[in-house]
Amino acid sequence: MKQHTPRLFLDDLAPGLSFRSGTVDVTADEIRSFAGQFDPQPFHLDDAAAHATLFGGLAASGWHTAALTMRLIVESLPFDGGLIGTHCELAWPLPTRPGDRLHVEGEIVEISPSRSKPDRGIVVMRSRTINQDDGIVQTLTASLLVFRRPATDTV
Amino acid sequence: MKQHTPRLFLDDLAPGLSFRSGTVDVTADEIRSFAGQFDPQPFHLDDAAAHATLFGGLAASGWHTAALTMRLIVESLPFDGGLIGTHCELAWPLPTRPGDRLHVEGEIVEISPSRSKPDRGIVVMRSRTINQDDGIVQTLTASLLVFRRPATDTV
Tens digit of each residue's pLDDT (9 = 90 or more) over B24-66:
999 999 999 999 999 999 999 999 999 988 899 999 999 999 9
Asked if pLDDT for residue B154 goes beyond 60, the answer is no
Enumerate residue ranges in chain A where pLDDT < 70. 1-6, 153-155
Q: Quickly state the pLDDT bin for B5 (edges 50, 70, 90).
A: low
Strand A101-113 and strand B101-113: the pairing is unpaired
Selected residue of A37, A43, A44, A94 to mutate for chain B interface (largest B Cβ count, 10 A): A37
Selected residue of B8, B87, B122, B146 to mutate for chain A interface (largest A Cβ count, 10 A): B87
Q: Quickly state the pLDDT bin for B102 (edges 50, 70, 90).
A: very high
Question: What is residue B78's predicted lDDT score, i.e. its pLDDT?
Answer: 86
Q: Which residues of B touch A8 (CB under 8 A)?
A: none
Asked if pLDDT for residue B126 goes beyond 80, the answer is yes
Report the alpha-carbon distance of residue B109 to residue A25 in Å, rounded.
37
A94, HSE (Cβ side, Cα atoms, 13 Å) = 15
Q: What's the longest Cα–Cα distance across chain B?
A: 61
Question: What is residue B14's predicted lDDT score, i.e. its pLDDT?
Answer: 94
* CB contact set of B126 (below 8 Å; sequence gap of 6+): B106, B107, B109, B139, B140, B141
Q: Quickly state the pLDDT bin for B7 (edges 50, 70, 90).
A: confident
Of B63, B68, B89, the CB nearest to A89: B89
Question: What is residue A3's predicted lDDT score, i.e. its pLDDT?
Answer: 45
**Secondary structure element (H or E) that encloses residue A123, with its range:** strand A120-130
Question: What is residue B3's predicted lDDT score, i.e. its pLDDT?
Answer: 45
Q: Say if the Cβ atoms of B71 and A43 lie within 8 Å.
A: no
The rounded radius of gyration (Å) of the Cα atoms in chain A is 18
Q: Are B82 and A41 in contact (CB under 8 A)?
A: yes
Report the alpha-carbon distance of residue A61 to residue B81 in Å, rounded.
14
Report the alpha-carbon distance of residue A100 to residue A5 in Å, rounded.
30
Q: Say if the Cβ atoms of B86 and A63 lie within 8 Å.
A: no
Question: What is residue B151's predicted lDDT score, i.e. its pLDDT?
Answer: 79
Question: What is residue A154's predicted lDDT score, i.e. its pLDDT?
Answer: 56
Residue A90: Cβ-neighbour burial (10 angstroms; 0-12, 13-18, 19+)? buried
pTM of structure: 0.93
Report the alpha-carbon distance of residue A78 to residue B93 in Å, rounded.
23
CA dist A77 → A74, B31, B66, B68 (Å): 6, 22, 22, 26
DSSP, res A94: S
Q: Which residues of A touch B68 (CB under 8 A)?
A: 38
Question: Domain B10-147 is classified in which CATH homologous superfamily?
Answer: Hotdog Thioesterase (3.10.129.10)
Neighbours of B27 (CB within 10 A): 11
What ipTM is given for this predicted complex?
A: 0.93
Residue window 49-78, chain B: list those with CB within 8 Å of chain A.
53-54, 61-64, 66-68, 70-71, 74
Report the alpha-carbon distance of residue B142 to residue B126 in Å, rounded.
6
A9 CB near a chain B CB, below 8 Å?
Answer: no
Alpha helices in chain A (DSSP H): 28-38, 42-45, 47-51, 62-76
Mean pLDDT of B76-84: 88
Of B37, B54, B81, the CB nearest to A54: B81
